[in-house]
Amino acid sequence: MTEPDPQTTDTPDTPIEVLLRLYRSGLLAAEYPCVAELLNLMSGADLERARHLLSRLDPDEVTREHPSVPSVKVAVTGHGTLSALVPALAAELARHGLLARTYLSDFDCYVFDLTDSDSELYATEPDMVVCVLDPAIVFDEVPLPWRPADVARVLAEKLAVFETLAHRFTERGEGTLVFNTIPLPRRYVHQLVDLSSRAELSALWREANARLLRIGDGRPSVVVLDIDPLIAEGVPCEDVRMSIYAKAYLSADLLASYARELGHLARHLRGRTKKVLVLDLDDTIWGGVLSEDGADGIQVADSYRGEAFRSFQQVIKQIGSQGVLLAVASKNDVEPVREVLTSHPRMTLREEDFVQIAASWRPKHESIAELARTLNLGTDSFVFVDDSSFERAVVHRSLPGVQVIQVDDDPALHLDRLLRDGWFTVRELTTEDRTRVVKYREELVRKDFLDSFDSVEGYLRELGLAVRLAVVESSEVARVSQITLRTNQFNLTTERLQPSEVAALLKDPAALTLAIHARDRFGDNGLVGAVFAHRDGDQLRVDNLLLSCRVFSRGIEEACLGSVLRHARDTGAKAVLGTYRPTAKNAKLRDFYARHGFELIGTEGDVTTFRHDLADIAPPPGHIQLTERLGGRN
């Protein structure tokens, strides 16, 4: 990005001025990767202006300039005028390094759009369909005059319609359908003059929204987002004038806030959910400086600032309990830090909550980079929180993939700064999520165990590795989908699959969908990988093979690929084809098939195809105990 000339300006351009200059000069598409940082520095009128600039940008132009920028096709439908949602989506997806390709349906076409499989909406092949629900959907159909019982009747009818739409979408088996809860504006409630009727209306409305929130239960491709928390923060539900004159039944501010939540979901759908939260200590999770104030002098509770730090620690502990890895990067001596985390009577966070504590006087970006290597994760999986602008700037400059969160000298605001962008949002928690910290701590023990050996071969022999390769069970669908969404390094094609798409594969007689489980002397790693393949005539095509970064380089991939080859041969296949699509993260896999007996047969676009003739299949590595349940050959 072009920097301002210090000889021609006294002050640097503001972020919106930079964005405007890029737009006017025709360079916005070329500089699209820089947009996220600019947007994160904007608010208010500047952010509104940026939204409209980005909505005018041609997505195809961005893709030509930056083919690696992931696109998300979003189809927007609903009852009212929803044009304000389009620029908000463009900005919110750009904030996460994504490119919005948005289709806006016609006014009040949501029922037709979602029930007709030949609708223009479905023709766009959307990754995400946003069906915006508003109060007019209900109140446009109540009689005049009306009573709460009339509203209850219409709500019941509408809920039945939403159920049908969710069912039809699920049958289709592609993409994600998003509903929202329906707000109840004051102007409807206060048309009832008696408080008893107002209470009745509010109660039945809440009951209807509760039913709406449960429409996603048992439907992995349907998500319902609750917008009541957005309104509770002070976002106006509606602009009455726009509602009456333009039939825009939800305010532009509410749609912009809703777009922010949709951006979090889109980021998850594109496999960009963060995995690790790295925390500074001094004046970040406690008040004061440990090396100067001592353990008794830091503020943790029992004061107004201390209570704020305790609230922040409680939020961190809650996040960590759901599979987010917590780590410390602090300029302190390690023993006093461990003493505080172990023995301080008012500390909420304890040493066992963290996967690693990097307390030293080395630069923090070095500590984070080393942690990434230890955990075998990319630094773009990390979020870093620090009160020091200097430390934040160094980490941002040295490790641009790390999401740096700014907190300041008001600890009461720390938790909002951490939570507002939903960096760790996932659709559904799995059993593996809740035990992830334990598994990664076990991984560090494995690393120490490895360091005690003179050779990797000796380490693997003593590791006691047992692998089970079996057809995916229905209870494993969510976890298998999650692996496709979160795995970037050992992912041969980086094809992301939603739970509904995995479930559909289980019903496809031509598909072979396998889960990889692993355990060793240190514990059960759980479901750590997947194989997706399908029969194509007398050939078996391996569509993808994925493996968690926790279990790289142990021969698991070799054992599982060999098992698939034997299964293909034993079930009558003449050959196995495998494909590789390069990404910024999976370059180490470019020769994966070649190293395992496949021959290169061609490249089309960015996809390279390999072939194995099944004549010479290597046995499983000797250090692995392999159990196979592939169906048709046990």
Q: Are residue 489 and residue 624 in the same domain, yes or no? A: yes
**Confidence band of 431 (pLDDT split at 50, 70, 90):** confident
Q: Are residue 50 and residue 113 in the same domain, yes or no? A: no
Q: What is the mean pLDDT of residues 598-617?
A: 91
Residue 356 belongs to domain with CATH number: 3.40.50.1000
Q: Are residue 151 and residue 57 in the same domain, yes or no? A: no
Q: Are residue 122 and residue 197 in the same domain, yes or no? A: yes
Q: Residue-wise over 160-189: b if at least 16 C-beta within 10 A, else e? A: eebeebbeebbebeebbbbbbbbbbbeebe
Q: What is the pLDDT of residue 574?
A: 94
Q: Are residue 265 and residue 350 in the same domain, yes or no? A: no
**Final residue of a structural domain among 21, 38, 65:** 65
Residue 462 belongs to domain with CATH number: 3.40.630.30
Specify if 214 maps to a domain: yes
**Final residue of a structural domain among 217, 238, 269:** 269
Coil, strand or helix at 618 = coil
Specify if 494 maps to a domain: yes
Residue of 16, 14, 85 whose CA lies nearest to 47: 16
Q: Are residue 601 and residue 551 in the same domain, yes or no? A: yes
How does pLDDT run across 248-266, given as a tens digit for each residue? 999 999 999 999 999 999 9
Specify if 426 maps to a domain: no
Specify if 321 maps to a domain: yes
Q: Are residue 290 and residue 414 in the same domain, yes or no? A: yes
Which of 1-5, 76-80, 87-91, 119-123 has the weakest average pLDDT?
1-5
Per mean pLDDT, which of 131-140, 434-443, 580-589 is the most reliable? 131-140
How does pLDDT run across 220-243, given as a tens digit for each residue? 899 999 999 999 999 999 999 999
Q: For the beta carbon of residue 616, count every other beta carbon within 10 angstroms.
A: 8
The boundaries of the domain holding residue 226 are 70-269
Specify if 171 maps to a domain: yes
Q: Is the CB of residue 387 less than 8 Å from the CB of residue 280?
A: yes
Q: Are residue 151 and residue 255 in the same domain, yes or no? A: yes
Q: Are residue 248 and residue 117 in the same domain, yes or no? A: yes
Q: Are residue 500 and residue 559 in the same domain, yes or no? A: yes
Q: What is the mean pLDDT of residues 61-77?
A: 94
Q: Is the CB of residue 178 less than 8 Å from the CB of residue 221?
A: no
Structural domains counted in the chain: 4
Q: What is the pLDDT of residue 632?
A: 54
Q: Compute the chain's Rg from CA coordinates.
A: 27
**Confidence band of 586 (pLDDT split at 50, 70, 90):** confident
Q: Are residue 363 and residue 466 in the same domain, yes or no? A: no
Q: Are residue 584 and residue 442 in the same domain, yes or no? A: yes
**Final residue of a structural domain among 362, 387, 419:** 419
Specify if 400 maps to a domain: yes
Say yes or no to pLDDT of 134 above 90.
Answer: yes
Q: How far apart are CA 184 and CA 220, in angstroms?
A: 27
How does pLDDT run across 139-159, given as a tens digit for each residue? 999 999 999 999 999 999 999
Residue 88 belongs to domain with CATH number: 3.40.50.1110
Q: How far apart are CA 620 and CA 555, in angstroms?
A: 8
Q: Is the CB of residue 565 less than 8 Å from the CB of residue 614?
A: yes
Specify if 474 maps to a domain: yes
Specify if 428 maps to a domain: no
- Across the chain, what does the average pLDDT equal? 91
Q: How far apart are CA 513 and CA 543, in angstroms?
A: 10
Say yes or no to pLDDT of 450 above 90.
Answer: no
Q: Answer with the residue of higher pLDDT: 505 or 550.
A: 505
